[in-house]
Amino acid sequence: MSQTESPALANHLMETVLPVRPAMVDRGSGIRMKPGMVEELIASGSAKAMVISQRKALVTADGLWFGDAATLWNALGGSASGAAAAIYLGTTLTSSSLPEGTSVVLFTVPEPPAPGTATVPLDAEWAGFRDVAARLDAKDTALFIEASAISNWHATHTHCPQCGTPTDIEAGGWVRRCPKDNSEHYPRTDPAIIVTVVGPDGRLLLGGGGPLDAKNYSTLAGFVEPGESLEQAVVREIGEEVGVRVTACQYLGSQSWPFPASLMLGFTAKTDDAVARPDGVEVTRARWFSREELQEAVLSGEITISTRLSIARSLIEHWYGGVIEDLQP
């Protein structure tokens, strides 16, 4: 802190694009450490369960489908047949489709049971998060994202990375232990920066990959590398992808993005450069927009931008200063 900077100013918290919303689920990191906790919870008859298979969950017109955990576990064959794995997701903190205080477990199965079998109702369907996110409430959204992230990890980390031995699931599904060398392995989250780059004239730089005539444009993003700070990642990624030198950046908010296990860390950045040079690999197209140009291009159908489900849209609208109207179908 400089001599001219007041303590009040130094401790002032800037507003973030994404407000700090309360958690929808108490994940119970303490109680899930008890051996056999998930099995006891399922047998209690009070828990509800959701099902994920091949990155899709069972949903109905009202949102996520939740079945009676004990009945569904028996119908799926349980852990005895190896057909299903059970993971503790937590206890609901709000009341919506499930009452507050409901314990929720996740069952992951390699092959999705058809609606009308294994106690799954006929009106249920299998859907990915992107397919149904727009119609989910906050609680269902939180559970779907948590379930997607943890199930992705289990699907890709079945063996010990040190010796190759198949690992055992512990701690309610949040730890895998190697029975040979006793090493513990935990779910991973990969930090990625996502950035709105603003030029010296206030215009916004958006980019896209794929064909040169594609219409989709969005913010620039990339993964944080080991040993680098978030700010260093912003400077490096923007320089690598579009040849623009970042002079300053500020953190604005974050969003969990379980495809497969990312945490998107949103920034806005400034540059003195007015020319962007796409790398031709990750970014094939880059274009500067004034606020008027961006809104006009979206409404005319000339370009499309990220959906309102993503932090990218929030970052773009933060720069814009309001809601960007979409082209109506």
Query: Residue 19 contacts by C-beta under 8 Å, 6 or more apart in sequence?
Result: none
Q: Which residue has the higher pLDDT, 204 or 6?
A: 204
CB 221 within 8 A of CB 238: no
Report the amino acid identity of residue 307. T
Distance CA 80, CA 303 (A): 52
Q: Is 40 helix (H, G, I), strand (E, B) or coil?
A: helix
Angle between helices 311-320 and 291-300 (to 10 degrees): 130
Q: What is the CA radius of gyration of the chain?
A: 23
CB 171 within 8 A of CB 33: yes
pLDDT score, position 119: 87
Provide the mean pLDDT of the chain: 90
Q: Considering the chain, what percentage of its residues have pLDDT values greater than 90? A: 74
User: Is residue 242 predicted with pLDDT exceeding 50?
Assistant: yes
Query: Residue 178 contacts by C-beta under 8 Å, 6 or more apart in sequence?
Result: 160, 162, 163, 165, 167, 168, 184, 185
Name the pLDDT band for 81 (thresholds 50, 70, 90). very low
Q: Per mean pLDDT, which of 10-14, 224-228, 260-264, 307-311 is the most reliable?
A: 224-228
Domains of the chain: 25-185 (3.90.79.20), 190-320 (3.90.79.10)
Q: What is the pTM of this model?
A: 0.85
CB 98 within 8 A of CB 66: yes
| pLDDT per residue as tens digits for the range 97-139 | 889 999 999 999 988 888 888 788 899 999 999 889 888 888 9
Q: Which residue has the higher pLDDT, 250 or 259?
A: 250
| pLDDT per residue as tens digits for the range 166-175 | 999 999 999 9
Helical ranges in the chain per DSSP H: 7-10, 37-43, 69-76, 129-132, 138-156, 230-242, 291-300, 311-320
Name the pLDDT band for 10 (thresholds 50, 70, 90). very low
With vertex at residue 302, the alpha carbon angle to CA 300 and CA 307, rounded to the nearest 5 degrees, is 90
What one-character-per-residue DSSP string does 135-149 give? Answer: G--HHHHHHHHHHHH
